[in-house]
Amino acid sequence: MFKFFLLCTLAVASRADIGEEDDVLVLKKSNFEEALKAHPNILVEFYAPWCGHCKALVPEYAKAASMLKAEGSEIRLAKVDATEEADLAQEYGVRGYPTIKFFKGGDKESPKEYSAGRQADDIVNWLKKRTGPAATTLGEVAQAESMIAENEVAVIGFFKDAESEGAKAFLKAAEAVDDVPFGITSNDAVFSKFEVSKDGVVLFKKFDEGRNTFDGELNKADLLAFIKANQLPLVIEFTEQTAPKIFGGEIKSHILMFVPKAATDFNDKMAEFKKASEGFKGKILFIFIDSEVDDNQRILEFFGLKKEECPAIRLITLEDEMTKYRPESEAITADNIIAFCTLFTEGKLRPHLMSQDIPEDWDKNPVRVLVGKNFEEVVFDPKKNVFVEFYAPWCGHCKQLDPIWTKLGEKYQDSADIVVAKMDSTANEIETVKVHSFPTLKFFPAGDEHKVVDYNGERTLEGFTKFLESGGKDGGAPAGEEGEEDEGIDDMEDLDEQDSDSDGDGGDHDEL
């Protein structure tokens, strides 16, 4: 009996070590396994105290935890300070902040990466999808009304026979969507309340038309396409909360209006933009970005814009390669935007490649300065071996590399056939070279073949020297095999999700 009492006391004491802050469990390596045993379904955020995106997530994460707790749910939310619990963070492959993983059924070996938005409703809906039925059975009108009232978007399947092929296709579609709640009903009163006379699917939303009725063939693919096309507003603001929905969607062509929300003509510009959007629903996503918000300045820079140049319109495709387009007319009218988008959909637009003017002293210093306008002339000179650093002014690793790169330039300043150069890739773009991360180092050997070799060796003067003296072999790799780099821009969302890494210690971009 004493042993049993002692074990119980120790168990209670152990669980007492799991603290809470605003209904969020505070976990450490010492209590992590105990937490998984006590709470089999637990969502864990690995964060850093200095991370701006982690700070922004705090209120929504706590709200989600409180919502689940108030419902009596067994699902709990937890957090781990990854800077204090480095071993735990390493064990679960944390490379950026915040990283959020769902441990289902107490399984600590293969947690599921969180993949939805950053608002409380997104978090709760995603967790419910992961632990419960894909669609909630709605047996009463009040249940359906509650689902619609409590969510920005909700999808309800109306099926007289819940075992029909259409109902099964609907449930398969529901399983595939993380960020929208689904309901299914066979109740006549619910059919009547929402004026549905036959089997079908209705998407309810608190914006634009208010509801959309599916009118295609009831199969998973068509239902998913219908949901993706209608779950976002015709015009959506780019924010930290909406970014996952924008970039996680099926629509990869985005037109962006950069405009200060505080401007006196903001509503007029929005009216023109929204009017233009109506004809491109499901084809082009219309997004506006407040050009005065500090967090958006890197996105403006990515498009070669300054605050004083806004309002402005740009279009980007987020396929394998990001391609940007600029309208000929800067006037923001529905007619101009429609014409611009029509040319794009017809494949009649040429990409817009940014370039600074060629500096007068571009070749006067040990490290030559390249811009879009002189790039190909320099790097494809058949008599020169050109080693180029593609950098971003804000990149911490680029700043760390700068003195070494300068020494390399000085070493080969008087060389007859080796040129050391650099290019600001936030202000200059090259059609033949796509840069996805900073710094990116590429070698263009002499000759007429226009070869490109990626540098993957050590970022030291000795490593660079060996590489150049070996003709790009020692430390080189075939084009396309890039090493681990500093700050990625694999898609535009990365620009919003970068925390500064000014100390050059390898900070990765946020991955939520």
Among candidate residues 435, 347, 427, 356, the one with its CA nearest the CA of residue 388: 435
Q: How far apart are CA 379 and CA 30, in angstroms?
A: 55
Q: How far apart are CA 205 and CA 46, in angstroms?
A: 32
Q: Which of 8, 54, 310, 341 is catalytic?
A: 54
What is the distance of C-alpha 172 from the center of its chain? 26
pLDDT digit string (tens) for the chain, length 512 residues: 434 444 444 444 344 478 899 999 999 999 999 999 999 899 999 999 988 889 989 999 999 999 999 999 999 999 999 999 999 999 998 888 899 999 988 778 878 888 788 889 889 988 988 888 889 999 999 999 999 998 999 999 999 999 999 999 999 999 888 778 999 999 999 999 999 999 999 999 999 999 999 999 999 999 998 998 888 899 999 987 788 778 877 788 999 999 999 999 999 999 999 999 999 988 899 999 999 998 888 888 888 888 889 999 999 988 766 788 999 888 999 999 999 999 999 999 888 888 889 999 999 999 999 999 999 999 999 999 999 999 998 888 899 999 999 999 999 999 999 999 999 988 888 888 888 788 999 999 999 999 999 998 899 999 999 999 998 888 765 443 333 444 545 445 555 444 433 333 333 333 32
Q: How far apart are CA 408 and CA 367, in angstroms?
A: 8
Question: Sign of torsion, CA 480 468 440 98?
Answer: positive
Q: How far apart are CA 66 and CA 56, in angstroms?
A: 17
- Residue 194 pLDDT: 97
Which residues, 6+ apart, have CB-to-CB distance to 152 below 8 Å? 121, 205, 206, 207
DSSP E strands in 209-306: the ranges are: 211-213, 235-237, 253-259, 285-290
Q: Which of 8, 51, 310, 341 is catalytic?
A: 51
Q: Which amino acid is at 210?
A: G
Q: Which amino acid is at 187?
A: N
- Residue 472 pLDDT: 87
User: What is the pTM (predicted TM-score) of this model?
Assistant: 0.62
Angstrom CA distances, 141 to 129, 221, 355, 401, stand at 22, 29, 60, 64
**Exposure string over 58-80, b if 16+ CB within 10 A, otherwise e:** bebbbbbbebbeeeebebbbbbb
Residue 37: half-sphere exposure toward Cβ, Cα within 13 Å: 9
The structure tokens listed for 214 are 């599916």
Q: How far apart are CA 124 and CA 116, in angstroms?
A: 10
Q: How far apart are CA 373 and CA 353, in angstroms?
A: 10
DSSP designation for 433: B
Give φ, ψ of 121 to 5 degrees: -60, -40
Among candidate residues 91, 88, 92, the one with its CA nearest the CA of residue 31: 88
Q: What DSSP letter does each residue of 278-309 carry, written as one string?
A: GGGTTTSEEEEEETT-GGGHHHHHHTT--GGG
Q: Which long-range contacts (CB under 8 A, 24 or more apart) does 270-275 make?
A: 270/235, 272/332, 272/333, 272/334, 272/337, 273/235, 273/332, 273/334, 273/337, 274/234, 274/235, 275/334
Q: How far apart are CA 317 and CA 323, in angstroms?
A: 5
341 is catalytic: no
Q: How far apart are CA 43 and CA 281, in angstroms?
A: 35
Question: Sign of torsion, CA 476 478 483 485?
Answer: positive
Angle at which helices 220-230 and 165-176 cross, to 10°: 50
What is the distance of C-alpha 445 from the center of its chain? 35
310 is catalytic: no
Which residues, 6+ apart, have CB-to-CB distance to 137 below 8 Å? 162, 183, 184, 185
Map out the domains of the chain with their CATH numbers.
20-131 (3.40.30.10), 136-229 (3.40.30.10), 236-346 (3.40.30.10), 368-478 (3.40.30.10)
Q: How far apart are CA 388 and CA 419, in angstroms?
A: 8
- Residue 499 pLDDT: 41
- Residue 292 pLDDT: 92
Give φ, ψ of 200 to 5 degrees: 180, -175
